[in-house]
Copies of this chain bind each other. A is one copy, B any other.
Amino acid sequence: MTTAGGTRTRTATGAGTAAEPPGDAGPETWLRHAREVTDPVLREAVGTLHPRARTVAGYHLGWWDAQGRPVSAGWGKAVRPALVLLAARAAGARPGTAGSSAAAVQLAHDSSLLHDDIIDRDATRRHRPAAWRVFGLAGALLAGDAMLALAVSLVREDGRGTPAGAVLNDAVQQFIGGQFEDIGFEERADVSLTECTTMAARKTGALMGAACRLGALAGGADETRATGLDAFGRSLGLAFQHVDDLLGIWGDPGATGKPAGADLHARKKSLPVVAALSSGTPEAAELAALYTRDPSLDDAEALRRAAALAERAGGRRRSADLARRHLSEALDHLDGTGLPRPGTRPLRTLAHWLAGRDH
């Protein structure tokens, strides 16, 4: 294991100075803006870690390779930081106010990815070898710990003390609960769509809700509006998870960065699979048999057959319908806040894009 050399951290004063896009900008512009605002705050925060933890964290975040040489692999779409920043904007915050909350939410998310990849033995993350394959179990585990403690400690810097810290901790506790439930599903044949939705609400919805609530707090929103923005983020998280699970089966591996059929190969009880399994169709029974018979999902032909069965059992359609329904709920929650529509427009733009994306 080497320490990351060379890559200098930039100061957080750069945060927020990136010119804000116009209100009618497109979703990818807002996401790029969120990356530009959050990246220097993230780099400064990660710069405080022990050199070995920093090496692993920065590799995972796409800043450098395993030897510490700068690369630009990127740390993902920046959906959660964008939610923090755009919720703050909708609540009337000055640009750049919510930078440390945006970085904190991303760090908490990335900590869970490092640990998830260990648990699931996932070999690939964001088109590169997962950190545990490069730095070993200990390296990825300890770096995830370092990022998690840093995240919870960082969020308080946005100013309001107890609420913000408690908000992130609550979300972390919920996504850990969702991960426990997700793992428990692997051993069960009778997972209902309701249980699976509850799990996804914890695993994905809670942190996206917390991202919006932290933005709302940074913007000085009252409790009612903060709760409305939180509910927007939670519903959007469910829509997002349906889309993510659909892409995990029917997405283009070149675009998603995951091998084709990876979720089926791992026998994941993802939302479309559970929707298919609970359809009561003959295809559901056949898919259930494939999921329980042990060596049957090890070749490309079996994976294609499982995907076709999930589709014929209605899993794909039902999951896509639910994604649209959760998006619609999210937009209702946003309208319910009574925040001025010009201010919430980027959140709506982002929400529509997330629920219709292909990667």
Contact = CB atoms under 8 A, between A and B. Distances in A.
Nearest to A119: B138
Contact of A119 (B1, B137, B166, B184): B137
A148 interface: yes
A52 B146 contact: no
Contacts of A148: 145, 148-149
Nearest to A136: B183
A153 interface: yes
Contact of A174 (B50, B152, B165, B202): B50
A181 B51 CA distance: 10
Interface range for A: 35 or more
Nearest to A53: B176
Given A148-B148, A156-B161, A161-B161, A180 B141 contact: no
B146 A149 contact: no
A170 to B, nearest CB: 8
Nearest to A112: B145
A20 to B, nearest CB: 28
A145 B1 contact: no
A150 B169 contact: yes
A315 to B, nearest CB: 26
A115 interface: yes
Contacts of A50: 173-174, 176-177, 180, 202
Nearest to A115: B141
B184 A1 contact: yes
A180 B53 contact: yes
Nearest to A166: B153
A124 interface: no
Nearest to A141: B115
Contact of A141 (B139, B141, B173, B177): B141
Given A156-B165, A161-B156, A169-B149, A138 B176 contact: no
A276 to B, nearest CB: 25
Given A53-B173, A119-B141, A156-B162, 19 more contacts: A49-B176, A50-B180, A51-B177, A52-B177, A52-B181, A53-B177, A112-B145, A118-B137, A138-B179, A139-B180, A141-B141, A146-B173, A146-B176, A148-B149, A149-B149, A149-B173, A152-B165, A153-B168, A165-B165
27 contacts: A49-B173, A52-B177, A53-B180, A108-B149, A111-B145, A112-B145, A115-B141, A115-B142, A115-B145, A119-B137, A119-B138, A119-B142, A139-B180, A141-B141, A145-B172, A145-B176, A146-B172, A146-B173, A149-B152, A149-B172, A150-B169, A150-B173, A152-B165, A152-B169, A153-B165, A153-B168, A157-B162
